[in-house]
Amino acid sequence: MKRRNTPDPRLTTPRRAGAPLPFARHPRWAAVADADWNDWRWQMRNALRRPEQFEALFALSGDERQALASLGDGLPVSVTPFYASLMDPDDPDCPLRRTIIPRTAEHTIGPDELKDPCGEDADTVAPGLVHRYPDRVLFLAVGTCAVYCRYCTRSRMVGGAEGYSFQRAKWQMAVDYIARHPEIRDVLISGGDPLLLEDNHLDDLLGMLRAVPHVEIIRIGTKIPAVLPQRITPRLTQILRKYHPFMMSLHFLHPSELVPEVVAACERLADAGIPLGSQTVLLKGVNDDATVLKELMHRLLMARVRPYYLYQCDPIQGSAHFRTPVQTGIRMIESLRGHTSGYAVPTFVIDTPGGGGKVPVSPHYVIGQMGEQWVLRNWANKVYEYTDPALGQPNGDG
């Protein structure tokens, strides 16, 4: 039953290119009928939420046990049987397990850490609606998730009692705001996880937004394909495809998430014509390793998901054990750029504390400039020069 994830033998064993990773249910659920296992509602009903449920499935460390026993009214704990099966029951340092089972380090709050590090509350203009950038809004439509990530930027507001309640009246206030602001052309629905909404509610919400004439694109940010791929049903994709131009950002952390069920869920979304981009949070001891990150990006591309953002972990309260130095992120991008397909290189961003929005942070490839002369360093650290077109000359800009 020992299934170590660091390093995960499934990732180090030579395979045919693109061969799927093996997946096995945790023995606890081996006898569950396929019809139940493949039903997303069964997965949600049987999610692990109480300390004794984790105790029964995992060889908990003393620190995990203590953290589970002292959760209080902060971010709750929850994990679907599917995602729990991806975790090493014996190794507390399993990358996925580190992100879901709490540690007591969560209770240590550093001086630079904030409840709302991205300053979303200050830019909230209607219930659940954040209007920061001129032409787009963030629509926090639901407050629950299938799993609760211990590094979550919105840990201050997800998992509360009202999470599952149907909120059409609040949605209407947010949609009314959007309708009054013709400059809004892009709506990103997030939460919580919007794909936990029932089909009819999600259809309703998307229909309300699509009815606003100036809304050009609608996007959903979700972790569901990684943690509850059973939710990506044919009925759901039928609904989503009605609302093109419609796009999705999928939250992935580690290559061991890309098991066949997950790849198939991504393919169902891609087959519905939905452009898929990934979002990955860079986390200490989880994915701050160039080999792991490259394998993740390659597996995402194989699942038809384009690597989009690599995030610096936000300084939420109790996050020091997850956060890496900014230099680590720069090094990760350096290890990808030029060393693999450009499509496999996400943009590394810091969501600046205080509401400044995302700032891209890149390695320095421009190492000098004088007038028209640019001195550039390439991926292999070789130096080249480039000359701008002469200003004022034919075909120049002057």
Q: Catalog residues that contact ligand SF4 under the rule CB under 6 A.
A: 145, 148-149, 152, 154, 158, 191-193, 223, 251
Single-letter amino acid, residue 79: V
Q: Which of 257, 268, 282, 266 is nearest to 350 (CA)?
A: 282
Catalytic-labelled residue, pool 94, 145, 266, 313: 145
Please report where in the chains the tokens 């059409």 appear, as a residue.
168
Residue closer to ligand SF4, measured from CB, 253 or 272:
253
Is 351 annotated in the active site?
Answer: yes
Is 271 annotated in the active site?
Answer: no
Is 132 annotated in the active site?
Answer: yes
Is 313 annotated in the active site?
Answer: no
Residue closer to ligand SF4, measured from CB, 157 or 175:
157
**303 touches 321 (CB < 8 A):** no
Residue closer to ligand SF4, measured from CB, 67 or 212:
67
Is 306 annotated in the active site?
Answer: no
Q: Which residues lie closer than 8 Å to 285 by C-beta, 6 or more apart?
A: 93, 95, 98
Is 133 annotated in the active site?
Answer: yes
Is 148 annotated in the active site?
Answer: no
Catalytic-labelled residue, pool 25, 331, 337, 358: 358
Residue closer to ligand SF4, measured from CB, 82 or 334:
82
Residue closer to ligand SF4, measured from CB, 314 or 334:
314
Catalytic-labelled residue, pool 10, 25, 28, 132: 132
Residue closer to ligand SF4, measured from CB, 80 or 324:
80
From CA 338, how far away is CA 354, in angstroms rounded? 34
- State the minimum distance, in angstroms, from the CB of residue 151 to ligand SF4: 7
Catalytic-labelled residue, pool 149, 231, 299, 308: 149
From CA 309, how far away is CA 251, in angstroms rounded? 10
- State the minimum distance, in angstroms, from the CB of residue 220 to ligand SF4: 12
Is 118 annotated in the active site?
Answer: no
Is 377 annotated in the active site?
Answer: no
Residue closer to ligand SF4, measured from CB, 145 or 208:
145
Catalytic-labelled residue, pool 154, 223, 299, 323: 154
From CA 307, how far away is CA 305, in angstroms rounded? 6
Gyration radius from the chain CA atoms: 22
From CA 152, how far away is CA 315, in angstroms rounded? 10
Residue closer to ligand SF4, measured from CB, 20 or 54:
54
Residues with a known catalytic role: 132-133, 136, 145, 149, 152, 154, 314, 351, 358
